[in-house]
Chain A
């Protein structure tokens, strides 16, 4: 099935700083979804990327899908304490989404 590597595993930023997490695959992905899981919570769907080179924005969050559809990124501008959590990029593997360990984001206020 599809596997992705997400980096960094963990990042601690000062409130107001930017944050980026990268998702890399050795194979071409049909699509990729991003989820956020707050501490003690459950994963919440953020967005799906399907097209090569696609860029989507949600307020301070910018999602990109690489031209070769082998990588993706999530960039958060001017982080806030509400951004804390684990961010997962999840490709589709057959009938289901595959989740890696994600990137843990901590924000110092």
Chain B
């Protein structure tokens, strides 16, 4: 394992199209998070999985956003009917349980541009 892997690195899409991003976390990490980051801001929490269960979803997240982690390994984030305001860097992170002190490991992100 070299870290958290995200694909694609960049995505340009037309407004109204659907997009899907993939995240492969570190294999022994049972926790997986999706964040969104815009220029000049810190990462904004979107959703959290523990194994395959989606345990928390931001209230700011519209119903156009959906995430899955079907087998408790990789995760996908889908945005339906994209809008220009969805343009951002989408970051995935994984971690061990809270009692450890290793923090989150972030992937390099998927940069989405909606035109």
Contact = CB atoms under 8 A, between A and B. Distances in A.
User: Do the two chains bind?
Assistant: yes
Interface of A: 33, 35, 41-48, 50, 86, 88, 92, 94-102
Contact of B42 (A41, A50, A94, A99): A99
A86 B42 CA distance: 9
Contacts of A48: 101, 103
A97 B91 CA distance: 13
Contacts of A46: 103
A45 B105 contact: yes
B56 A99 contact: no
Given A35-B104, A43-B106, 10 more contacts: A46-B103, A86-B42, A95-B48, A96-B33, A96-B45, A96-B48, A97-B33, A99-B44, A99-B45, A101-B40
A102 B42 CA distance: 7
B: interface residue count bin: 20 to 34
Interface of B: 33, 35, 40-45, 48, 50, 55-56, 91, 93, 98, 101-109
Nearest to A50: B101
Contact of B103 (A35, A42, A98): A35
Contacts of A102: 42
A88 to B, nearest CB: 6
Contacts of B45: 96-99
Given A42-B106, A48-B101, A100 B42 contact: yes
A94 B108 CA distance: 25
A49 B93 CA distance: 20
Contacts of B108: 41-42
